């Protein structure tokens, strides 16, 4: 059984949490300070792209097109 790198697991869980939080903030479920929530959601989305890219590169998952798309964010 292969051992999973702790840092890679942290990147995977952080990416998932940031995708969820960023999408919830960007959609705007909370009606207080909508403009700031959208900016924060966009920032979390960009941060999630970075964590996802690091995770995919570490495990060698995905093609070069996916990696390049994540790099543009």
R_g (Cα) of the chain, nearest Å: 14
Report the SS3 class of residue 58.
Answer: helix
The one-digit pLDDT tens for each residue of the chain (73 residues) are: 456 778 888 888 999 999 999 999 989 888 889 999 999 999 999 999 999 888 888 877 777 777 777 777 6
**Residue labelled with tokens 């702790």:** 6
Q: What are phi and psi of 3, to 5 degrees?
A: -90, 130
Per-residue confidence (pLDDT) for residue 1, from 0 to 100: 42
Per-residue confidence (pLDDT) for residue 39, from 0 to 100: 94
Per-residue confidence (pLDDT) for residue 6, from 0 to 100: 84
- Cα separation, 46 vs 49, in Å, equals 5
Percentages helix, strand, coil for the chain (3-state, rounded to 5) are 75, 0, 25
């Amino acid at each position: 059984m292969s051992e999973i790198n702790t840092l890679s697991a942290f990147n995977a869980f952080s990416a998932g949490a940031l995708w969820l939080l960023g999408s919830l903030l960007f959609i705007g479920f909370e009606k207080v300070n909508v403009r700031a929530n959208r900016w924060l959601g966009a920032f979390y989305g960009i941060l999630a792209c970075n964590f996802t890219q690091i995770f995919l590169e570490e495990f060698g998952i995905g093609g070069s097109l996916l990696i390049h798309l994540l790099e543009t964010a």
